[in-house]
Structures are given as C-alpha cells and as structure tokens.
C-alpha cells in the first residue's frame, strides 16, 4: 500500500507542467503526499512491539506516553494520538523535529537495541501534530476563568513559552519580555530553518498571542527595564534567559576580521530567512558564499554552522575538532548528515592561532592525540609537537559552546544566588530561586541543554508558580 502511494507520489512529483491548472496539480500533490505520509507513519508506528518495558518513554525527558500514541497511530486513531501526545508535551511537533532522538527515546527503543532499527518516534510525533494543525484539532488557548494575578516571564525561548502556555491556560495574566524582536529564543534565531522551519515556531507564538499572552519584545531586561521594576509590576517572575556568553579562544590573531561567533553567524542566517535586512550578511561578513569556511568545535552548534555554510554555497567547509569521532559531543546522526552534504571533519586538531593580515587567511592547526583518561574517565587531547600546519580559510566560525551571562551583576540584583558555573541556583523540583516569588528555568539553570528539557522545566515551573500564587495571600498576611 505504502509502496503504491510512493510510486504515485513520485509520478506526480515528476510530472512535467501541463495545461492543467497549477493549483489543481498542487492540490493532488499534497493529497497524495499526505496519504503517503499517513501510510508511512502507520507502518512505522505498527513496528512498535508494545514491549511493556517502555525505555523510550523513560528516556524521554517529558515521559511521553510513546507506546500508546504509536498504537493509536498504527490503528489510524490520529486525533486521539494527538490528544495523548500533547497532554505531556507543549510543542510535540518541535521536539519531533529537533530532539536528538538517537540519544533519547529512539536510542533506547528495544527494537533498536535488538539490532532491527528503531521505530522513528520523532518523525511520528511530528507527523501527528502537523496533522492536528492541518485538521484544526489544535485548540486555541481559552482559559475557563480569568485570574487577577500576573506573572512576568523573562525570555521567550522554549522554557519561557512552555511556562506561558500553561499559566495562561490556567487564566493567569502573562507578560513575556524578550530582548529580540521575535519570540522563540534559540528556536527562532539559533536552530537553522532546515532543521526547524520558522513557520512551525511562529504559529505557536501566534497561538499564545491569540490566547492572551502579552509579548514585550525589543525589551532587554537590565537595560530597557530593570529587574526590580518587573518584580514590582508582577506577582511572580520566571527567569528563562538561556545562556549566551560564547566561549572564546585565547590564541594569536583571535580577533581578526573574518573570525566570527557561531551565534552571530546563525542569527544572521535565520534573520535572512525571515526576509530581514542584515547588513553583516549582505556585506559578506556573516555569509559563507564562495568562501573556504573552517568551523571550530564538535557540538551540535558546530554541526548547524557547517550545514548552514554548505547551504549558503561555501567553496569548502571543514570542521576542526580536538578529539576523535567517537568522543565528540555532537549527535552522530548530525555528523553523518553533514558528511553526506560535503563537510570534511578534521578530527584530532585544534587551533593554536590564526594567520591574518587585514583579515583571516588561515588557521594554524595543531594535530592532537588522545592521552590518558582524566578524572572523568575521558581521554584528554594532547598536542603532537612539530606536526602543525596551516589550513587556509576566508571565514572561521567559533562554535566552542556557551556560558551564562552574569545576571546578578548585569541586572544589579542582590540576593539572586548563582552556582559556581554562573547558572542561576534554583530548586530542582520547584524551580524557586533564592528570591521570593522568583523562579528560573531552562538553560540559565541547566547550562546549555536541550529544547525538550526547557519545555519540561517550563511546564513544571508553571505548576510551582500556581502553588505559589495560591499561597501568596497567606504569605503576605504572615
């Protein structure tokens, strides 16, 4: 059945333009594609053995009821599958697209463990919720009753948005403050559109706006409004500001023109995809087209940079990483995708400086080997003396990871405790900080993490804030 539809799908896709109305052809194409996708989803979902030890579920940070919604999908009960899926996940279609499933649900599927290839859980989760949007099953946010309390959320990334959704559904007045001109945090300006289409994020933001969430955009807390002013205006505050301080290199010529930060490079590319004017992109400063690009780093951000550079038409793209393939932090799936697209990985290499006159011309590369394991058991990279060489480059992108900004200092807040890593110290369960009525979630607490954890935090903190608001009159009276 699925094979027949595939043939029909390919035939229609290849059809040369005819006199038939283009809209009619497009409609046929979409209909056949939908039928084909439905068959594929049902076929995949039907592969779940309903093993009874759902490691997939326990390895999903949201503990999604995966086996049940797979069974419903296999039986064609898509609307029920959607309802079950969205009961534990605020943005299932986003997680379905960008969770590193090989490290979470799919990596722990018993069929995968037995060597028969995982059920494609993420793709099915995406399919279920995309279908729900198309079919109009996604309900608008309509609180049963309005409440008088107001909550401020600083940061419109997935953690802040998940909290906003849950609080608004409970009738709370919610204002989300963000320094960007669009909401979404890294969903909007970090993660590239080829992994997560921007319209998928924007329709969620429209849903929140239409449901009564107020967005105060272009509002940099600490500059445009003080943290204390926000505290004074609202009954509770949730800090969900993410981590944005890029780790840097302390080597010769590290500030030469042509050496850029991953976040700037990716933000420019994402802004372009919205049709924005981006002078740094148009001038070529943040555009890889026609350039020899070297990306430094081995995490998921580095993978996004190399794959974006390929799409921008770079002449060549190389990724330098100081350990080997088996020891890199990024997803192996992403590496395979990047290799297929033409990226060259140069394992066991690290920059020791840059060749630069007016702008960067090359990276001085040290070759490395893996030495003895360190305290964590991970083998440390060591420089091989005398094996340096120069890698020519017109654009170097530093993707070395992110650290938290020093919020108490930037915001002039006393009494907001941070950890020794600079992340905000918050209770693991309630997400309460050291300041009464102030909560913190997402990357600013965990350090650079994942969207699915941010969503979990956002859902959990909403519960805690509701408890706090319920107790607040009693606290005030004490």
Ligand X SMILES: Cc1cc2nc3c(=O)[nH]c(=O)nc-3n(C[C@H](O)[C@H](O)[C@H](O)COP(=O)(O)OP(=O)(O)OC[C@H]3O[C@@H](n4cnc5c(N)ncnc54)[C@H](O)[C@@H]3O)c2cc1C
Provide the binding-site residues for ligand SF4, judged by CB under 6 A: 60, 62, 64, 66, 89, 95-96, 99, 101, 104-105, 121-122, 125, 452
Q: How far is the CB of 155 from ligand X (least distance, A)?
A: 3
The encoded tokens of residue 287 equal: 């555009």
Q: How far is the CB of 88 from ligand SF4 (least distance, A)?
A: 8
Residues 6+ apart with CB under 8 A from 429: 460, 464
Q: How far is the CB of 208 from ligand SF4 (least distance, A)?
A: 19
Q: How far is the CB of 333 from ligand X (least distance, A)?
A: 11
Task: Give yes or no for residue 93 binding ligand X (CB under 6 A).
Answer: no
Residue for token pair 């995490």: 299
Task: Give yes or no for residue 337 binding ligand X (CB under 6 A).
Answer: no
Handedness of CA 71, 76, 81, 83 (dihedral sign): negative
User: Which one of 41, 78, 81, 99 is in contact with ligand X (CB under 6 A)?
Assistant: 99
Q: Binding mask 153-192 vs ligand X (x if CB under 6 A, - otherwise)?
A: -xxxxxxx----------------xxxx----xx---xx-
CA separation for the pair 28, 244 (Å, rounded): 45
Termini Cα distance of the chain = 68
Handedness of CA 84, 86, 88, 93 (dihedral sign): positive
Task: Give yes or no for residue 211 binding ligand X (CB under 6 A).
Answer: no
62 binds, among ligand X, ligand SF4, none (CB under 5 to 8 A by kind): ligand SF4
Task: Give yes or no for residue 124 binding ligand X (CB under 6 A).
Answer: no
Q: Would you say 8 or 103 has its CB closer to ligand X?
A: 103
Q: Would you say 8 or 195 has its CB closer to ligand X?
A: 195
Task: Please return the burial class of 55, using the count of CB atoms within 10 Å of its CB with bins 0-12, 13-18 and 19+.
Answer: middle
Listed in order, strand segments (DSSP E) in 339-476 are 344-347, 349-356, 360-373, 379-383, 389-392, 395-398, 402-403, 438-440
Residue 206: φ, ψ to 5°: -60, -40
Between the CA of residue 314 and those of 191, 273, 287, 302, 393, what are the distances in Å? 19, 17, 9, 15, 11
Task: Give yes or no for residue 418 binding ligand X (CB under 6 A).
Answer: no
Q: Would you say 71 or 271 has its CB closer to ligand X?
A: 271
Task: Give yes or no for residue 221 binding ligand X (CB under 6 A).
Answer: yes
User: Which residues of the chain form contacts with ligand X (CB under 6 A)?
Assistant: 98-99, 154-160, 177-180, 185-186, 190-191, 195, 220-222, 240-242, 266, 300-301, 304, 442-443, 449-452, 454
């Amino acid at each position: 059945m699925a094979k027949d539809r595939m043939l029909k799908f390919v035939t229609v896709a290849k059809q040369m333009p005819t006199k038939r109305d283009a809209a009619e052809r497009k409609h046929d194409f979409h209909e056949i594609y939908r039928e084909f996708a439905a068959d594929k989803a049902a076929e995949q979902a039907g592969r779940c053995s309903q093993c009874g030890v759902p490691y997939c579920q326990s390895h999903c940070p949201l503990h999604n009821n995966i086996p049940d919604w797979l069974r419903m999908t296999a039986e064609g009960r898509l609307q029920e599958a959607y309802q079950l899926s969205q009961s534990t996940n605020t943005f299932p279609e986003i997680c379905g697209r960008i969770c590193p499933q090989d490290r979470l649900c799919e990596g722990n599927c018993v069929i995968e463990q037995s060597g028969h290839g995982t059920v494609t859980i993420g793709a099915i989760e995406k399919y279920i919720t995309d279908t729900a949007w198309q079919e109009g099953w996604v309900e608008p946010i309509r609180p049963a009753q309005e409440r008088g309390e107001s909550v401020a959320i600083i940061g419109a990334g997935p953690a802040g948005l998940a909290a906003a959704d849950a609080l608004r559904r409970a009738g709370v007045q919610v204002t989300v403050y963000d320094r960007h001109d669009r909401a979404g945090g890294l969903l909007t300006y970090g993660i590239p559109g080829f992994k997560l289409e921007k319209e998928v994020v924007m329709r969620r933001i429209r849903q929140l706006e239409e449901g009564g969430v107020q967005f105060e955009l272009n509002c940099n807390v600490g500059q445009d409004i003080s943290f204390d002013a926000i505290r004074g205006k609202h009954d509770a505050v949730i800090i969900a500001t993410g981590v944005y301080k890029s780790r840097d290199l302390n080597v010769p010529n590290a500030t030469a023109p042509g050496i850029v930060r991953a976040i700037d490079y990716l933000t420019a590319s994402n802004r372009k995809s919205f049709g924005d004017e981006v002078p740094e992109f148009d001038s070529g400063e943040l555009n890889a087209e026609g350039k020899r690009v070297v990306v430094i780093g081995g995490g998921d951000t580095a993978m996004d940079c190399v794959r974006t550079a390929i799409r921008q038409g770079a002449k060549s793209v190389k990724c330098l990483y100081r350990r080997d393939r088996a020891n890199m932090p990024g997803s192996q799936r992403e590496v395979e995708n990047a290799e297929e697209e033409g990226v060259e990985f140069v394992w066991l290499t690290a920059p020791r400086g840059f060749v630069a006159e007016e702008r960067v011309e090359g990276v001085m590369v040290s070759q490395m080997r893996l030495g003895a394991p360190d305290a964590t058991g991970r083998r440390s990279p060591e420089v091989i003396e005398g094996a340096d060489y120069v890698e020519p480059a017109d654009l170097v992108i530093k993707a070395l990871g992110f650290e938290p900004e020093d919020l108490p200092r930037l915001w002039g807040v006393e009494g907001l405790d941070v950890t020794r890593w600079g992340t905000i110290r918050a209770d693991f369960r309630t997400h309460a900080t050291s300041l009464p009525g102030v909560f913190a979630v997402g990357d600013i607490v965990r350090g650079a993490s994942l969207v699915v954890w941010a969503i979990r935090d956002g859902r959990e903190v909403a519960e805690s804030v509701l408890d706090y608001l319920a107790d607040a009159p009693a606290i005030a009276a004490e």
